[in-house]
Amino acid sequence: MKKIFIAPLLLCSMLALSAMRSTIGETQKMFEQARVKKEKDAPIAKKGKLLFKDDFNNGMVYSKEYQQVADGWRVRANHAKWKQENNSVKSIFESGHMPVLTYEGNFKDAIIELEFKFFAQEGKWSACRISATNPQLNPRAYAASVWANANNTGRALGMVLEHDEWKPGVITTVMNKPATFEPGKWYTLRLELIGNVVRATCNGVTVIGTHEKFGIPKNSISLGVGTSPHELRKFRVYEASKK
């Protein structure tokens, strides 16, 4: 049997070519993964007409009864106490249910934006939630909810997109991603609703998914926060169309 000898230089060239092909393949794979991630995280909606805004500077004294805050929109303190101060509204939790401020106004496909910050307090938890629903079409439920959850043990931490059927119903977690939120810092929480698809983002983290109840016509938005002190500002609701 004849022995075949490959010159060392030729062998090195072949190994280098193989390594180059492997590197090119890995690079192409990384670019493709980045492209897919960018498309997945991209907004699904574009803003249209401004339907409603609240800058929390109208002197409103919140109560359990609905009060008109703009044409076609009204608000009430659903749970706990709320107080306007310096173009924001502060939650005042004493006991019981987490603070919730509820607005009524008609919309369907929409973009909802809200800025929030919280202050750490021993024995209390911190999170901000936006919930859009229709009590007539989906009783005792939040059709679409997103949490920016700092440390509420009742939910997964980070960004949580869900459909919430109140007890004795069940909560359907559509997507959850890790995210961190620091006390004393303002964050913008954005919720996009297009048909049965909902996308939410905060602090660079995006969650997106579908649910059969996400697309119902809506007439209620609840802004919920944790039991530690929170402030909200620049609440906006826009008409939206598919991007």
Q: Predicted confidence band at 35 (pLDDT cuts at 50, 70, 90)?
A: very low
CB 219 within 8 A of CB 108: no
Q: Predicted confidence band at 11 (pLDDT cuts at 50, 70, 90)?
A: low
What is the model's pLDDT at position 34?
Answer: 41
What is the model's pLDDT at position 144?
Answer: 98
Residue 32 has pLDDT above 80, yes or no: no
| 41, 42, 47, 52: CA torsion to nearest 10 | 10
Mean pLDDT of the chain: 91
Please give the angle made by the CA atoms of 189, 168 and 153, to the nearest 5 degrees.
45
What is the model's pLDDT at position 27?
Answer: 47
What is the model's pLDDT at position 30?
Answer: 47
Residue 155 has pLDDT above 60, yes or no: yes
Which of 24-28, 103-107, 175-179, 226-230 is predicted least confidently?
Answer: 24-28
Cis bond before residue 217 (omega within 30° of 0): no
What is the model's pLDDT at position 36?
Answer: 42
Q: Predicted confidence band at 186 (pLDDT cuts at 50, 70, 90)?
A: very high
Residue 66 has pLDDT above 60, yes or no: yes
Distance CA 173, CA 161 (A): 6
Query: Could you tell me which residues come within 8 angstroms of residue 222 by beta carbon, excluding any fewer than 6 positions away?
Result: 78, 100, 101, 102, 103, 129, 130, 131, 133, 142
What is the model's pLDDT at position 41?
Answer: 78
Q: Exposure of 152 by Cβ count < 10 A (0-12 exposed, 13-18 middle, 19+ buried)?
A: middle
89-92 and 230-242 beta bridge pairing: antiparallel
Which pTM value belongs to this model? 0.85
Residue 220 has pLDDT above 80, yes or no: yes
**Token pair recorded at residue 212:** 């059969």
Q: 46-242 has which CATH code?
A: 2.60.120.560
Over range 150-157, report the average pLDDT. Answer: 97
What is the model's pLDDT at position 57?
Answer: 97
Residue 8 has pLDDT above 80, yes or no: no
